[in-house]
Structures are given as structure tokens and as C-alpha cells.
Amino acid sequence: MLSGGEFVLAKPRGIFRNRKMTPTVGDFCTVGPSGDPDIPYTIEDIRERKNVLVRPSVANIDILIITMAVIDPQPDLKLLDKLLIICASLDIEPIIWLTKVDLSTEKALELKTEYSSAGYRVVCSSKEEMLDQELIHEIFTGHTVGIAGQSGVGKSTLCHRLTGMDEIEVGHISERLRRGKHTTRHVELFPFENGFLIDTPGFSSLDIAEIGLSVEDVILGYPELLKIAGQCRFQDCRHRGEAGCAIENAEISEGRLARYREFLDIMIEKSKRYGK
Ligand SMILES: Nc1nc2c(ncn2[C@@H]2O[C@H](COP(=O)(O)OP(=O)(O)O)[C@@H](O)[C@H]2O)c(=O)[nH]1
Ligand SMILES: [Mg+2]
Ligand SMILES: [Zn+2]
């Protein structure tokens, strides 16, 4: 999209291929005329990125909305915690967005309580209810916001409700691309509230050892544990059962603590095997 708001086609200069730098959705680029009427612009330069997410593949994200259905599909809390760790390590503000609240208000409340007491912002929605416009305005204005989460949780439904693009248009685009209706297979960018909203294909798994995180990054996704820093006997305590650990002072759910320890074990094992 040009700064004036016009959508155009552009192809990257060959130099990016040599530098192994691929233009990514969310990149700010400088373009020039290409002379080719089919693809009239050439990407000349890519501005330095604030951050890059590998999965989903997007750049310069300010806020990541991590969507999770209260049921159908069953919430994958490991995936959620991994995304929270990634956000913290990349300085992206996460917002946990619970969808399909109409299917179980009890489950919604349970998840909202667990994660808001951990220190996260949790928003609930169901497609039959109006979205809170004031909240939407506050979250989106001037920001690049990505939407991530498992397939089928309602990411595309939410994007289309937010941007006002109706389902007919979605179906139409899908048909043109010969893809199943409602199945996002690629990253989609919508200009929204003076910023951008980026819908992404869902994913079912994310391997914590394969996404460039370090052992030290794991705790960043657990603000409840960061709060007890300095209270344990050993300064470098990892809260895995060390003597004098102040874990009982941390207000962390059993599930979150178990996931933290599991991820930490995986990362420690990996660092032993391959070095840092
Ligand atoms: N009951 C209920 N179903 C929803 C809600 N939001 C989305 N869905 C349905 O969930 C299915 C998957 O939605 P979609 O937006 O394609 O999910 P995506 O794969 O995350 O993009 C569709 O059949 C939607 O109609 C909701 O709030 N409540
Ligand atoms: Mg989708
Ligand atoms: Zn400790």
C-alpha cells in the first residue's frame, strides 16, 4: 500500500534475494517505478524492522492479539504461553482475546481469571455481541496489530467484523484464490484505525526450541514469576525446586507453573546439547 492509501503491486529487487532478506507483511518499504505494466513498482529498500515474528510471518508488530476459543477448538494453553513468551522477548504487547464466549461463559471466566491475574489484558467476545467500540479504538489507533492463534478460533471472523468487510467479500476472495471459504492460507493486511490489522493463517503447533528463544527468555512470559525476583535464596534461582525458592509467594496458577517448568526444561536441555 502506498502512503496515500492506494494498493499497488510491487516486486522486490533482486538484491534482497542475495542478502537473504525477504519482504514481509508489515514491512515499510521504499518503492520506485519498475517499467513493467503488470507489476508497476519495485521495492527498492526495506526500512529497519522493529521486530519480526517467524510464525506467523509478520514484521513491525506493536500489538499481537492472541485469539483462543473458549471451546471448539479446545484452548491450547501451551501455545498461548509460548506466544506470550515470544511477545515479551520481541517487545510486542500481547492481548489475549477469548472468542466464542457464547459457547461457555464459565470457561471464559475461568481463563480470563487465570490470565488477568497473571498480569495480562484479556478481552472476551462472541460473534453475536457488539464489539466494544471504545476498546477497539484504544487498541488499534495508529498501531500495527497482528492476530494469531489456532485455526478455527474465529480470527478471520473477528477481522472482518472489525474492518466491516462482510462474509460475501471473504467468500468471493477465497473463491478467486481457489481456496476453501474462510480458510486463511496467507497473511492478510487491512488498513484500520490509522494503523493496520494483520490476519494470519492459524497454526496448530509451535516448537519452543525452534524459534530462536534462549533459556532466559522463558520467564519473560510469566510476569507472576518476575514479581518474586530477589526473594529466593539464590539470585539466579529458576524456581524449579531449588533450596530457598520463594515460589510459594508467587500468585501463579498450577497450570502456568507446570508449563513454565516444562518449557524451561526443554530450553535447558537444548542449550546443553547445542550450547547457547
Ligand atoms: N459460536 C461461535 N462461533 C464463532 C465465533 N466466531 C467465529 N465462529 C465460527 O468459528 C468458525 C471458524 O471461524 P474463522 O474466523 O474462519 O476462524 P480462523 O481459522 O481463526 O480464521 C466459523 O464457522 C465461525 O462462524 C463466535 O464468537 N461464536
Ligand atoms: Mg482465518
Ligand atoms: Zn525461586
CB within 8 Å of 260: residues ≥ 6 apart? 81, 218, 219, 221, 222, 225, 239, 252
Tally of CB atoms within 10 A around 102 = 13
Residue to mutate, 157, 179, 182, 197, ligand 1, most ligand atoms under 8 Å from C-beta: 157
Q: Report the topology of domain 52-199.
A: Rossmann fold (3.40.50)
Q: Given 1.20.1530.20, 3.40.50.300, 1.10.40.50, 3.40.640.10, which CATH number is that of 208-274?
A: 1.10.40.50
Over the stretch 74-93, which tens digit does the pLDDT of each residue have?
A: 999 999 999 999 999 999 99
pLDDT for the residue numbered 182: 54
* Ligand 1 atom at shortest distance from the alpha carbon of 149: 20
Q: How far is the CA of 150 from the centre of ligand 2 (A)?
A: 9
Q: Which long-range contacts (CB under 8 A, 24 or more apart) does 36-41 make?
A: 36/11, 38/9, 39/9, 39/10, 39/11, 40/8, 40/9, 40/10, 41/8, 41/9, 41/10, 41/11
Q: Provide the pLDDT for residue 7.
A: 84
Evaluate if residue 172 carries a pLDDT over 60.
no
Query: What residue's CA is closest to ligand 1, atom 13?
Result: 154
Sequence ranges of the domains in the chain = 10-46, 52-199, 208-274
For 35-59, how does the pLDDT look when each residue is reduced to its tens digit (9 = 90+)? 999 999 999 999 999 999 887 888 9
pLDDT greater than 50 at residue 171: no
Q: Looking at the CA of 252, which ligand is closest?
A: 3
Report how far residue 228's alpha carbon sits from residue 249's, in angstroms, rounded to the nearest whole number. 7
* pLDDT computed for residue 174 by the predictor: 45
CB 200 less than 6 A from any atom of ligand 1: no
- Counting every residue written for the chain, the total comes to 276
